[in-house]
Amino acid sequence: MKPGRARTWALPRREWALRATLLAAWMACAAPAFGGTVVVLRSRALAPYDSAIAGFEAAYRNPVTRFTLADTGGAALRDRIASLRPDAIVAMGLRGALFAREHFPRTPLVYCIVQDPARHDLGGVWVTGVSSDVPPAVELTSLRAAAPDVRRLAVFYSQTAGAAFAREARKAAADLGIQLVEVAIADLSELAGRAREAARRADALWMPADPMIAAPEPFRFLLDLSLETRKPLFTFSDALVRAGALAAVVPDYQAAGAQAAESVRRIQAGERAGDIPASTVRRTRLVVNGSTARALGRDLPVAARRGAEVLP
Amino acid sequence: MNWAFARGIRGRIALLLVGGLLLAACGFYGLLDFLARDWSRRELREQGEAVVERMAREAVTPLVLGDRRGLQMIVSHGARDRDAVGAAILGANGAELATRVTESDHWTQVPVARLDRRPGETRLTRERSAGVEVFTLVVPVIRTAPASTPTGDAFDFNESGPGPGAARTPELLGWVRLTYSTARLEGELSRARTIGLLILSLVVALGLAASLAMLRVVVRPLREASGLAREIAGGNLDRRIPVRAGDELGALAASMNTMA
């Protein structure tokens, strides 16, 4: 073999190797921009999560891999998600978010429909999301539209976790000309007596999504009190409106899913999850129980009826 | 006592009838009494179980919230039943949190050791007190995660609260106790027994009277035939007896007349 010819072959081979390496590196960096794997992890099978997933898929428009935490064992689910090497995990619900944060601490996490994420330490450079908290001002404005005659509103919250909520609620109520009858409790055993006393002074009852108050027994008690005193009960969930409460301002879950999709796109475009500010759900809807309204002898104003979902 | 009448056919048949009727009446009365007693006890128990289970469901919320007023309302409502001796709600340590007793004579304390901690188990104890039976039903109050209900969905969705998300395993909150007696029932049964006895006596008396009247129809032609036979044996061949019917007794009278 002539030395010159050998040289001719040796150079392109090195060059090809270099080119291949560069191409692989470029592809690895650019892959997210082409839409890599996204895992949607649902805490459990619940209608709000399914609505949010539908909203997410409609906005994201690329295929996603879905898992439900309640259906699969922790270790098996962890291994299956790990084998996919996802670009991002979209967690629908608190349990899914906590699972993802624990097992995939260095995978971008976008939580969706989580109440009070800061309380669960859902933050950091790998985490962003959409909380399901509805600001008290938004809630009070809608409730005011549904019951314009309410002047004094009894609101129940826990002393420890509800301080920030109470501050916001106080300000929003003052802006709307509503007087809040605040019942801040340290322990559930205080609720019954204080709620009965507050109900005498208020025109309506408000049960926010407080970690202590938002449980089945306080709800049943407040619902009974509402029916007994014929004063409307406002809550935080459409399911509780179906169970007998008069009205609730609830997040638009589809919109929340669409907001999560925006965050995922930004992550795939190269932004760090922690740099994308966590947001609250932008759209809400008023849900009213028509039967309860009739039982309480209340008529929903036409203006409020237009934008509300009235359950029969 | 003169038992001579029992030697005649009329006496024997009358004794048989009286004995048979009394036996049938006693059997019927005893069976009726047993069935009425059994049925009413079962009704009482089923009614008590329904009341105590409803009370246990209603007691969950006030027990969780420590709402004594709510508990008192539940026991007052439960003890309103006519047969109830009293009702009580006990805490998880067995202490009475709310009690309503309407008949203190039949109300006793239930030792904590006798309380059943198994979910859904209704315990029934039965004892006699002052001539009546006293039943005590005790059912544990269990707090379980609400499943597939609108409220359950709401709090599952909330996930963060101390509610169902944290309380998946059944939690014993206390017990509901309902005691009732058969006092009213015994009174009702006693009255029913007296009325039943009167009706049965009347029926037996009427039956006997009717039987005796029938016996008279049977025995009279036989007596006449017997008298005729005696007279024929004594040589009086002119005597005749009346033929009153075309049945077997009538045929016997006609045959006797032919013999003379």
Task: Quick: pLDDT tens for A83-100.
Answer: 989 999 999 988 889 899
Owner of token pair 């049960």: A207
Cα–Cα distance between A32 and A241 in angstroms, integer? Answer: 42
pLDDT greater than 80 at residue A135:
yes
Owner of token pair 């406002």: A234
pLDDT of amino acid B171: 83
pLDDT of amino acid B45: 87
Structure tokens at A106: 């260095």
- Compute the average pLDDT of residues B237-244: 82
Searching chain A, which residue's CA lies closest to the CA of residue B70? A192
Local confidence band at B258 (pLDDT 50, 70, 90 cut-offs)? confident
Structure tokens at B44: 């009482």
Question: How many beta-carbon contacts under 8 Å exist across A and B?
Answer: 97
Interchain CB contact of A70 with B (< 8 Å): no
- Per the prediction, chain A carries an average pLDDT of 86
Task: Quick: pLDDT tens for A105-121.
Answer: 999 999 998 888 888 88
- Per the prediction, chain B carries an average pLDDT of 81
Q: List, in sequence order, every residue forming a beta bridge with B129; answer none if it has no partner.
A: B132
**DSSP string covering A62-100:** S--EEEETTTS-HHHHHHHHHHH--SEEEEESHHHHHHH
Owner of token pair 């009278």: B253
Question: What residues of chain A lie within 8 A of the CB of B70, using their CB?
Answer: 192, 221
Cα–Cα distance between B60 and B229 in angstroms, integer? Answer: 93
Is the reported ipTM for this assembly greater than 0.85? no
pLDDT of amino acid B165: 41
Cα–Cα distance between A290 and A56 in angstroms, integer? Answer: 31
Searching chain B, which residue's CA lies closest to the CA of residue A96? B159
**DSSP string covering B164-203:** TTT--S-EEEEEEEEEEESHHHHHHHHHHHHHHHHHHHHH
pLDDT greater than 90 at residue A221:
yes
Q: One-letter amino acid identity for A155?
A: V
- For residues A10 and B5, the model is more confident at B5
Nearest residue to B158 (alpha-carbon basis) of A131, A70, A232, A220: A131
Structure tokens at A111: 């939580």
CA A267 vs. chain centroid, Å, equals: 19
DSSP for residue B162: S
pLDDT of amino acid B24: 86
Cα–Cα distance between A221 and A208 in angstroms, integer? Answer: 14
Local confidence band at A132 (pLDDT 50, 70, 90 cut-offs)? confident
A183 φ, ψ (degrees, to nearest 5): -120, 95
DSSP for residue B258: H
Contact yes or no for A88/A110 (Cβ under 8 A)? yes
Helix, strand, coil percent values for chain B (each to nearest 5) = 60, 15, 25
Interchain CB contact of A209 with B (< 8 Å): yes
pLDDT greater than 70 at residue A303:
no
pLDDT greater than 70 at residue B112:
no
Cα–Cα distance between A304 and A143 in angstroms, integer? Answer: 9
Local confidence band at A1 (pLDDT 50, 70, 90 cut-offs)? very low
Question: What residues of chain A lie within 8 A of the CB of B163, using their CB?
Answer: 214-217
CB contact under 8 A, B155 and A214: yes
CB contact under 8 A, B160 and A188: no
Question: What residues of chain B lie within 8 A of the CB of A212, using their CB?
Answer: 161-162
Question: Which range among A160-164, A171-175, A212-216, B248-252 has the greatest average pLDDT?
Answer: A171-175
Among A188, A220, A250, pick the best mutation site for testing chain B contact (most B Cβ within 10 A).
A220
Residue B134, classed as helix, strand or coil, is strand
Task: Quick: pLDDT tens for B138-197.
Answer: 999 988 765 445 555 566 655 544 333 444 567 889 999 999 888 888 888 888 888 888
Cα–Cα distance between B3 and B48 in angstroms, integer? Answer: 56
Question: What residues of chain A lie within 8 A of the CB of B72, using their CB?
Answer: none
Contact yes or no for B30/B196 (Cβ under 8 A)? no
Question: What residues of chain B lie within 8 A of the CB of A191, using their CB?
Answer: 65, 67
Question: What residues of chain A lie within 8 A of the CB of B67, using their CB?
Answer: 191-193, 221
CB contact under 8 A, B153 and A47: yes
Structure tokens at B5: 């009448």
Owner of token pair 């006596």: B201
B84 φ, ψ (degrees, to nearest 5): -75, 135
Task: Quick: pLDDT tens for B52-80.
Answer: 999 999 999 999 999 999 999 999 999 88
Cα–Cα distance between A116 and A250 in angstroms, integer? Answer: 15
Searching chain A, which residue's CA lies closest to the CA of residue B160? A211
Q: Residue A216 is nearest to which of B66, B70, B151, comparing CB atoms?
A: B151
- Compute the average pLDDT of residues A55-68: 92
The answer to whether the pTM exceeds 0.80 is no
CB contact under 8 A, B67 and A242: no
pLDDT greater than 80 at residue B91:
yes
Cα→Cα distances A182→A154, A170, A179, A194, Å: 6, 9, 9, 10
Nearest residue to B40 (alpha-carbon basis) of B188, B195, B193: B188
- Compute the average pLDDT of residues A235-245: 89
Question: What residues of chain B lie within 8 A of the CB of A93, using their CB?
Answer: 157, 159
pLDDT of amino acid B159: 54
Cα→Cα distances A27→A36, A61, A76, A96, B81, Å: 11, 22, 30, 30, 80
